[in-house]
Amino acid sequence: MIRILLFLVVVFALGLGFAWLADRPGEMVVTFSGYQYQVSLMVAAVAVVAVVAAVMIAWWLLKALWNSPYTISRYFRVRRRDRGYQALSTGMIAAGAGDGALARKKTKEAAKLIRSDQEPLIQLLEAQASLLEGDHEGAREKFETMLEDPEMRLLGLRGLYLEAERLGDRNAARHYAGRAAAMAPQLAWAAESTLEDLTGRGDWDGALKLVEAQKSTRQIERDAANRRRAVLLTAKAQALIDSDPNAAKTAALEANRLRPDFAPAAGIAAKLLFRQNDVRKGAKILETAWKAEPHPEIAELYTHARPGDAVLDRLDRAKKLQEMKKNHAESSLAVARAALDAQDFSTARKEAEAAIRMDRREGAYLLLADIEEAETGDQGKVRQLLSKAVRAPRDPAWVADGVVSERWAPVSPITGKLDAFEWRAPMERLGQLIDSDEDAPDAAVPTIAAPTKPEKENVIELNPAGSAERPTAVAASETDEDDVAPVTATASAAVPPDGDAAEPAEEMARLPDDPGVDPDDEEQKSPRKFRLF
């Protein structure tokens, strides 16, 4: 657009110039070789412009003829390059689709048309074709060759890292990832693998620096970075709790500042503060974490904040926790444990049963069994509670990659992943809980009375001359002795108050596949008693 405007401006300026000359007539006299030439000023201007145009056209023609060999060779070179890039594009698409044969064919075609030193993607396509063909050794050689080219070095490290992961060589994979992270800290895969390596070796300071670099390069969000920093600082505090308590305290407080609801950070920070007799600050940290999410370790630390406290004082502290988080199973369990230690069995039993109503779990039944044994010593009830505990869902624990741990750990022992442990109930016994509502806390336990020996008046006498309903009743009692349908309240309520009582034969319909008992055969049988068992 700008060029068109400039062209129009030039044309307009030339037009104005020629118009200006046309309005001002004059003559030009040129003396050359004894001759005198006299022309008008307009003709002279036109002649000058024509000469300049002729010179420019002649120069363009001479230049075109001079550069024609280069132009022709350039045309064929560009055409060859376009064909090579077309083959390269088709080969990359084939490699992405998993067509190894077509990828290999297009790799050879692209290598003939384009030199590999001019286009590094040919090396990548060749390595991908080798992987599709199952030639992993050849692919690794190609990736190792890429390490010599600065432009392809990261790609080669990525390929070698994936091959090491495929072979299960974790050390080699972390080595390649570390080299890539040193060259390009913004690579997420390299940073994650290096972070796992640092945490696996216990280099918490190095891991913290790497997380800070990830945060600065915006690889991870701010909340995720704070979560990782809190986990790493908590792990650092655990490692230094005995050797350097002051450094451990600093790390634990920083972790608790980043994530006040993180129970392991709050627990270790409070423990270190309690060791330095700073009970008030440690209790405040535990209270904040308890309000966010109750945890049994927090309750244990809070109730035993002062080792010399009496059991009643610990019970009062447990009740204080319960006031902060009402209607929660962990609050009731904390009070029940403290009450059991104080031998306040009524409070302990009430809180344990309340915990079962809110969250039926194994630990609540075990605690209730301890209360029963301590208070009454009734081994029958204790065994009954223990059997319920076996069938109840398990208590929450720290779970990571199928591993259940009583204590929190910063990394998974299986995969080495950071912050893999979660506080949740293990999923091992869910299959036993399906359609199992016999241990529901609100359900009344039915009592089965021992069967007594029937008396003489309970014997059903056969009446040969009677109606057909009596043989039917006897037949039903003989064929289905154990299948006795109880009379429920719903069935009783369905009978109108002014209705006639129905005979048993009219209520009990004979099943289609049950022909019943022949009355002639029934008369020969001796009368027998109706028994439930």
User: Does the pLDDT of residue 439 top 70, yes or no?
Assistant: no
Distance CA 233, CA 258 (A): 10
- Max distance between CA atoms of the chain, in angstroms, equals 170
Given a contact cutoff of 8 angstroms between Cβ atoms, the answer to whether 47 and 28 are in contact is: no
Given a contact cutoff of 8 angstroms between Cβ atoms, the answer to whether 264 and 410 are in contact is: no
**Residue scoring higher pLDDT (404 or 75):** 404
- Helices and strands (DSSP H and E) totals, the chain: 23, 5
Q: What is the pLDDT of residues 169-205, one digit of tens each?
A: 888 988 899 889 888 878 888 888 889 889 988 999 9
Distance CA 142, CA 160 (A): 10
Distance CA 154, CA 247 (A): 38
Q: Per mean pLDDT, which range of 155-159, 212-216, 318-322, 390-394 is the poorest?
A: 212-216
pLDDT band at 468, cuts 50/70/90? very low
Three-state secondary-structure class, residue 242: coil
How much is the pLDDT for 117?
A: 65
User: Does the pLDDT of residue 161 top 60, yes or no?
Assistant: yes
Q: Per mean pLDDT, which range of 134-138, 236-240, 279-283 is the poorest?
A: 134-138
Q: What are phi and psi of 29, to 5 degrees?
A: -115, 125
Q: What is the pLDDT of residues 227-256, one digit of tens each?
A: 999 999 999 999 999 999 999 999 999 999
What six digits make up the tokens of 210?
């790497």
pLDDT band at 116, cuts 50/70/90? low
Distance CA 331, CA 291 (A): 11
How much is the pLDDT for 488?
A: 40
How much is the pLDDT for 272?
A: 94
Q: Tell me 432's DSSP state.
A: G
- For the question of whether the overall pTM of this predicted structure is more than 0.75, the answer is no
Q: Tell me 214's DSSP state.
A: H
How much is the pLDDT for 238?
A: 93
Q: Which residues pair with 39 in a beta bridge?
A: 28
Q: Taking all residues of the chain, what is their mean pLDDT, rounded to a whole number?
A: 80
User: Does the pLDDT of residue 18 top 90, yes or no?
Assistant: no
DSSP string, 63-110: HHHHHHHHHHHHHHHHHHHHHHHHHHHHHHHHHHHT-HHHHHHHHHHH
How much is the pLDDT for 255?
A: 95
User: Does the pLDDT of residue 8 top 70, yes or no?
Assistant: yes
User: Does the pLDDT of residue 470 top 80, yes or no?
Assistant: no
